[in-house]
Amino acid sequence: MSPTLRRRKIRGAVPAPDEAPAPDPAPESGPEPEPTTTPAAPTGPTRRGERRRTLAHSTPVLLLRAAHPRHALLTAAGLAIAAALSGRAGREVALVLVTVLVGQAVLGWHNDLVDRRRDERRLPSGKPIAEGYLDPGTAWFALICAVLLLVPLSVSNGVTAGSVYLGTVAAGLVGNVVLRRGWFSWVPWAVAYAGYPAFLSYGGWGGEASGNPPEPAMVALAAALGVGVHVLCALPGLVPDHEDGYRHLALRVALRIGATRLLVLALAWVVLAVAGLLVVGNSVGLSR
């Protein structure tokens, strides 16, 4: 072999000093892992909405909703205004207001507890006990506590006045259980409202307070007002009451003249009863 050919072979086998070897191919690798991110806590309207829902489902708010607050406030405010118009002192007016509020809360909780099974068949009913947000045992506990508070509150208006008011609450409790389905559904309402003039006329400050009997005309007009309020309160539930076989006064009249006419008639009845109470109270007063 010639020296020239030998040099060519050696030159092809051994790389030249100035030639760098080719780099090894990079090892294959899978896709890069995505960085993990921790979800941020909700802020702004979402958190405020959750806070509102939590507050709406808290036990105090649910108890307030189950107490029929609108009817309770109207009744308590009406009796407090009547007490003020009759010349009662400010602290006595406040006592009347608180006493009636507690009594109406007792009636509202009892009504929702009695109607729980009926309301569960028509969800959503807007009633916390029927919808499962408020435990019935909690409502019963609140009711018993309210009754224990209502007794000394009522007696603080005077023994006679307190006994009369406790009698009106008892009439409402009986009305929640019996008489509400038939023709005499108006009787507990008339009896309860007829006792309000006596509660005010006998009332005062402290257990030793004693007043005078109420005017018979005031008692009769208050009873008439109770019948009108009963019809107004029964109007929203006419359809379910009819489906459940109830035949109370408001439903019987509505089936004859229609719900719209009954609403107008009931409103006129209530306005006339209130006007009569104001006229008689201004002319002869609340007590004899």
Q: pLDDT, tens digit, for every residue of 245-281? A: 888 889 999 999 999 999 999 999 999 999 999 999 8
Mean pLDDT of 126-150: 92
Mean pLDDT of 132-138: 91
Tens digit of each residue's pLDDT (9 = 90 or more) over 111-121: 999 988 887 88
Q: What is the predicted pLDDT for the residue at 25?
A: 47
Contacts of 275 (CB under 8 A, 6+ apart): none
Mean pLDDT of 195-202: 95
Q: What is the predicted pLDDT for the residue at 183?
A: 84
Mean pLDDT of 162-171: 96
Which range has highest mean pLDDT (27-36, 50-59, 73-82, 128-137)? 73-82
Mean pLDDT of 182-207: 92
pLDDT value at 215 more than 80: yes
C-alpha 72: how far from chain center? 10
CATH class of the 60-283 domain in this structure: mainly alpha
Residue 141: pLDDT band (50, 70, 90) is very high
Number of other CB atoms surrounding residue 150 within 10 Å: 22
Buried b (16+ CB within 10 A) or exposed e, 223-257: bbbbbbbbbbebeebbeebeeeebebbbbebbeee
Indicate the average pLDDT of the chain.
Answer: 83
Q: Which of 111, 116, 107, 122 is nearest to 136 (CA)?
A: 116
Contacts of 65 (CB under 8 A, 6+ apart): 127, 128
Q: What is the DSSP string of the chain?
A: --HHHHHHHHHHHS--TTPPPPPPPPPP--PPPPPP-PPPPP-THHHHHHHHHHHHTSHHHHHHHHT-HHHHHHHHHHHHHHHHHTT--HHHHHHHHHHHHHHHHHHHHHHHHHTHHHHHTSS--S-TTTTTSS-HHHHHHHHHHHHHHHHHHHHTT-HHHHHHHHHHHHHHHHHHHSSSSSGGGHHHHHHHHHHHHHHHHH--SSTT----PBPHHHHHHHHHHHHHHHHHHHGGGHHHHHHTT---HHHHHHHHH-HHHHHHHHHHHHHHHHHHHHHHHHHT-SB-
pTM summary value: 0.79
Mean pLDDT of 210-233: 93
pLDDT value at 79 more than 70: yes
Question: Where do the domains of the chain lie?
Answer: 60-283
Mean pLDDT of 206-235: 91
Q: Which of 234, 224, 207 is nearest to 268 (CA)?
A: 224
Q: What is the predicted pLDDT for the residue at 269?
A: 96
Tell me the C-alpha distance between 224 and 227, whole Å. 5
Q: What is the predicted pLDDT for the residue at 4?
A: 44
Which range has highest mean pLDDT (87-96, 205-214, 278-287)? 87-96
Mean pLDDT of 159-186: 91
Over pLDDT 90: what percentage of the chain? 55
Name the least confident of 29-33, 166-170, 201-205.
29-33
pLDDT value at 22 more than 90: no
Q: What is the predicted pLDDT for the residue at 48?
A: 56
Mean pLDDT of 119-148: 88
Mean pLDDT of 28-41: 50
The answer to whether residues 218 and 277 touch, using CB atoms and an 8 Å cutoff, is yes
Tell me the C-alpha distance between 185 and 189, whole Å. 8
The answer to whether residues 66 and 128 touch, using CB atoms and an 8 Å cutoff, is yes
pLDDT value at 230 more than 80: yes
